[in-house]
Amino acid sequence: MSEVLVLNRNFYAIAVTGWQRAISLLYLDHARVVDEGYRTYDFGDWLDASRSLESETSAFVRTPNHKIAIPEVISLRLFGKVPKREVTFSRRNLLLHYGWRCCYCGERFASDELNLDHILPKSRGGGTSWGNVVVSCIPCNKRKANLLPSEAGMKLLRAPARPRPRTGPLLWPQRAPARPSWKRFLSASAYPA
């Protein structure tokens, strides 16, 4: 809760941060709040705007002198680059990378019908990394069990690989569920429904 999407000055999503850091960037005039109409607010403007938001559901921070709404999206004033990011090794990113398809039978499944498969089984020293883990449906996973694909008479339809570091808008927020207000800034293809 209260995570804030950070955009660079060209409105590319580049990070997710905590509300404390977002407010401090705003206070230091390193960032502006961006609302759903793409209007931007500096600290003073945002204090004023916060007053009119009081009746709505926004979360607020109270200081001795102010009551300020926690923004959902901010943009950095000076930073224009889009950092390259390694794609984190996670179940979610594996599913995304392999398109929710079993790497053995090629069928598409729902998330809860897919397992992660160690090509060289863990019990035989196989590592947990992009190079040794693929997505597999439960029947294929059972069939393969503690064998190598060749031993089980199975074939990988896709070679395991670490996705290339991405340049571009944030693939998706790693640390928090995306808020509706973030969607317009996240690339549609990377944002599963």
* Site residues, Zn ion (CB under 5 A): 102, 104-105, 137, 140
Cβ proximity to Zn ion: between 13 and 135 the closer is 135
Cβ proximity to Zn ion: between 50 and 136 the closer is 136
What's the closest the beta carbon of residue 102 comes to Zn ion, in angstroms?
Answer: 3
What's the closest the beta carbon of residue 98 comes to Zn ion, in angstroms?
Answer: 11
What's the closest the beta carbon of residue 135 comes to Zn ion, in angstroms?
Answer: 9
Cβ proximity to Zn ion: between 31 and 140 the closer is 140
First to last CA, the chain: 20
| Contact yes or no for 113/67 (Cβ under 8 A) | no
For residue 149 the two structure tokens come to 């694909």
The set of residues, in sequence order, having a beta carbon less than 8 Å from that of 55 and lying 6+ positions away, is none
Number of C-alpha atoms within 13 angstroms, CB side, residue 122?
7
The set of residues, in sequence order, having a beta carbon less than 8 Å from that of 61 and lying 6+ positions away, is 19, 23, 67, 68, 70
| Contact yes or no for 34/40 (Cβ under 8 A) | yes
Cβ proximity to Zn ion: between 25 and 95 the closer is 95
Q: Name the phi and psi angles at 189, rounded to 5.
A: -65, -25
Residues found in the chain: 193
Cβ proximity to Zn ion: between 159 and 188 the closer is 159
